[in-house]
Amino acid sequence: MPLVNGRILLDRIQEKRVLAGAFNTTNLETTISILNAIERSGLPNFIQIAPTQCTTLGIRLHL
């Protein structure tokens, strides 16, 4: 699953004429479960993680 610009994702959603979920997550286990479900669905979605939460989880930001 690639990391893409939100505008590009919104354009894809509009082109496919589908709805997309936006999932806020606060721990690694939940994030992995969300990723697995998104990949199975084959539909574009957003995963929302606050920058402060990334620090807590040890996730390096690619800004």
Taking only the tens place, the pLDDT of each residue in 6-52 is: 898 899 899 999 998 999 988 888 889 999 999 999 888 998 888 88
> Within a domain: residue 62?
no
> Within a domain: residue 39?
yes
> What's the CA gap between 63 and 56, in Å, rounded?
17
Evaluate if residue 63 carries a pLDDT over 70. Answer: no
> What's the CA gap between 28 and 11, in Å, rounded?
28
Confidence band for 1, pLDDT divided at 50, 70 and 90 = low
What is the tally of structural domains in the chain?
1
**What pLDDT is stored for residue 5 in this prediction?**
86
**What pLDDT is stored for residue 37 in this prediction?**
94
> Within a domain: residue 30?
yes
**What pLDDT is stored for residue 57 in this prediction?**
75
Which range marks the domain in which residue 19 is found?
A: 6-57
Pair 22, 49: CB distance under 8 Å: no
> Within a domain: residue 36?
yes
> What's the CA gap between 46 and 4, in Å, rounded?
10
> Within a domain: residue 37?
yes
**What pLDDT is stored for residue 15 in this prediction?**
93
